[in-house]
Amino acid sequence: MKKVKSIFITGAILLLMTVFVSESYAQPKGRGWGRDGDSHAKNLENLRILKLLELLQLDEEQNTKFISAFVSFRKEAKEITAEIEIEVDSLIDILQQTEPPKENIISQISKIEDKKIQREKLVRDFHKEVASILTPVQLGKMVVFEEHFERELIESVRGFHNRNMPPMPDPDDVPGQ
């Protein structure tokens, strides 16, 4: 009976988490992934949380607290990332001017750096919060997971692009040299 209750609670939490995560992907108008990118991002976010929960093997109490903290953290992180993208887009617009004002460039770079610092603080605060929920071993696994997940994602994208690009010609084989 306890096992069924645990599975039911975990399923309900995952369903709620999916709703919250889905809401966190509302993109600002402008440059973005579009509809297909949104569904891929949602799938990726769901994969991230499922893999992490599988790795951490949380008990019921930990599960509830951790998922709540994690969903909140990811939502705030996505918001900050979207703000960074907006600031970067503004910097692009400035740089495309015939003679971009140096002050505007420096100001925009400063805004981007401030947002990145804000995102780093959010990560530190999240780690402090979940340190009271997870055991030190679980916390360590989560930190390793975060780094590996991001690295593997980047490598997958890099591999996908490399498979779809024609091979680079050998500089020694270029005619006329």
pLDDT tens digits, 105-123: 999 999 999 999 999 999 9
Domain contains 78:
yes
Confidence (pLDDT) at 168:
56
Cα Rg of the chain (Å, integer): 21
Domain contains 176:
no
Residue type, 55: L
d(CA 69, CA 87): 27
With a cut of 80, say whether residue 16 has pLDDT above it: no
Indicate the average pLDDT of the chain.
79
Span 64-91, average pLDDT: 95
Domain contains 175:
no
**Percent over 90 (pLDDT), the chain:** 53
How many distinct structural domains can be found in the chain?
1
Confidence (pLDDT) at 43:
81
CB 83, CB 116: distance < 8 Å: no
Q: What are the contacts of 46-51 at 24+ separation with CB within 8 A?
A: 46/18, 46/21, 48/149, 49/14, 49/17, 49/21, 50/14, 51/145, 51/149
Copy the structure tokens of residue 71: 């969903």
Confidence (pLDDT) at 110:
97
Domain contains 71:
yes
Q: What angle do CA 119, 55, 132 make, to 5 degrees?
A: 55
pLDDT band of 31, cuts 50, 70, 90: very low
Domain contains 63:
yes
Range of the domain at 107: 2-164
d(CA 84, CA 89): 9
Contacts of 24 by beta carbon, 8 Å cutoff, 6+ apart: 45, 71, 74, 75, 78, 79
d(CA 134, CA 64): 12
Class of residue 88 by CB neighbours under 10 A (exposed 0-12, middle 13-18, buried 19+):
middle
Confidence (pLDDT) at 154:
77
Domain contains 147:
yes
Rounded to 10 deg, the angle between the 2-23 and 34-56 helix axes is 150
Domain contains 23:
yes
Q: What pTM was computed for the model?
A: 0.65
With a cut of 80, say whether residue 38 has pLDDT above it: no
With a cut of 80, say whether residue 104 has pLDDT above it: yes
Q: Is the dihedral of CA 159, 113, 117, 44 positive or negative?
A: negative
